[in-house]
């Protein structure tokens, strides 16, 4: 073994140790980034407990955090049975609404006549309160999964459509001129330029839709349904089962937060050049 090889081997351990230290510091910074949110959550729970116990609020009005935790432990099977339909409806509605919105946005960008004809109709549908559309869909589609999925899709549809149309059009004229000089057709411009420029706009809309799809599913379950978190909320409200009501609401909120975090992680993986955000 030469002297150069021995020297190289002697240098490697400090470099590896430095990389390990940098990785450790990076992990520590990531943990500290979530510390304010965790602290705020714990503080809200403490304040909730102090208010309920300090003012001696009856359980049927506002239970304590411990009573809600007991519901998760003792009635977890009921929560789980009603959680699964809402999860299915929210996921299917999210996929359906956003897929249709993206396809329509692509059509609008390539056809000005289609945009002028159908964009106002989409705006008009969006102005109708979702709680007013829900009974109509239940009458048309029945009490199964279909109306809940459509309601979740409708509530996701418009933000994605607006953002996607804007994103597909957010291409510099110089870039479009360059593609024309290179004899690129509309399909090549779409996949190589327009879709790339629209991704930040698309994920901004998807993060909104990831939470509103859960709202749409729950609202749909309020109208003529015997299952799901929305139905369980109605049942717990009318029977003054406040701990179960709070547990159901927390579970629904947790589902929406999980969707948001997953969408943000996918965004971080796809848009690696974009600056980091909270998630």
Confidence of residue 278 (pLDDT cuts 50, 70, 90): very low
Q: What is the DSSP string of the chain?
A: --HHHHHHHHHHHHHHHHHHHHHHHHHHHHHHHHHHHHHHHHHHHHHHHHHHHHTT--TTT---HHHHHHHHHHSHHHHHHHHHHHHHHHHHHHHHHHHHHHHHHHHHHH-HHHHHHHHHHHHHHHHS-HHHHHHHHHHHH-SSHHHHHHHHHHHHHHHHHHHHHHHHH---HHHHHHHHHTT--HHHHIIIIIHHHHHHHHHHHHHHHHHHHHHHHHHHHHTT-SSHHHHHHHHHHHTT-HHHHHHHHHHHHHHHHHHHHHHHHHHHHH-TTSPP---
Is the per-residue pLDDT at 276 higher than 60? no
Predicted pLDDT at 189? 81
Per-domain boundaries in the chain: 1-56, 65-270
The 10s digit of each residue's pLDDT in 111-166 is 889 999 999 998 888 888 888 888 888 888 888 889 999 999 999 999 999 999 99
Predicted pLDDT at 12? 47
Predicted pLDDT at 55? 86
Predicted pLDDT at 20? 67
Predicted pLDDT at 40? 85
The 10s digit of each residue's pLDDT in 174-229 is 777 777 777 777 788 888 888 888 899 999 999 999 999 999 999 889 887 788 99
Predicted pLDDT at 78? 92
The 10s digit of each residue's pLDDT in 217-261 is 998 898 877 889 999 999 999 999 999 999 999 999 999 999 999
Is the per-residue pLDDT at 25 higher than 70? no
* Topology at the third CATH level for domain 65-270: MetI-like fold (1.10.3720)
The 10s digit of each residue's pLDDT in 26-83 is 666 666 777 787 888 888 889 988 988 888 888 888 898 999 999 999 998 999 999 9
Confidence of residue 103 (pLDDT cuts 50, 70, 90): very high
Predicted pLDDT at 27? 66
- On whether the pTM is more than 0.85, the answer is no
Is the per-residue pLDDT at 10 higher than 50? no
Predicted pLDDT at 153? 95
């Amino acid at each position: 073994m030469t002297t150069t090889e021995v020297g190289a081997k002697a240098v490697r351990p400090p470099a590896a140790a430095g990389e390990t230290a940098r990785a450790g510091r990076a992990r520590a910074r990531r943990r500290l980034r979530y510390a304010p949110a965790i602290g705020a959550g714990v503080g809200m729970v403490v304040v909730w407990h102090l208010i309920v116990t300090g003012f001696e609020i009856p359980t049927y009005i506002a239970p304590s955090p411990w009573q809600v935790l007991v519901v998760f432990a003792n009635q977890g099977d009921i929560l789980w049975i009603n959680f699964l339909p809402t999860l299915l409806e929210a996921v299917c509605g999210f996929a359906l609404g956003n897929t249709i919105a993206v396809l329509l946005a692509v059509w609008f960008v390539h056809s000005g006549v289609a945009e002028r004809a159908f964009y106002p109709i989409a705006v008009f549908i969006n102005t109708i309160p979702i709680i007013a559309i829900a009974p109509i869909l239940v009458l048309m589609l029945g009490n199964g999964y279909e109306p809940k999925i459509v309601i979740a899709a409708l509530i996701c549809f418009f933000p994605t459509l607006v953002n996607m149309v804007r994103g597909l059009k957010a291409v510099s004229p110089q870039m479009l001129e360059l593609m024309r000089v290179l004899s690129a057709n509309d399909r090549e411009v779409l996949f190589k330029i327009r879709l790339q420029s629209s991704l930040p706009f698309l994920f901004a809309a998807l993060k909104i839709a990831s939470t509103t799809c859960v709202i749409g599913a729950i609202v749909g379950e309020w109208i003529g349904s015997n299952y799901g978190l929305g139905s369980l909320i109605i049942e717990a409200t009318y029977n003054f089962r406040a701990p179960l009501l709070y547990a159901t609401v927390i579970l629904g909120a947790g589902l929406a937060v999980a969707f948001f975090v997953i969408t943000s992680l996918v965004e971080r993986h796809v848009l690696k050049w974009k600056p980091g955000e909270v998630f």
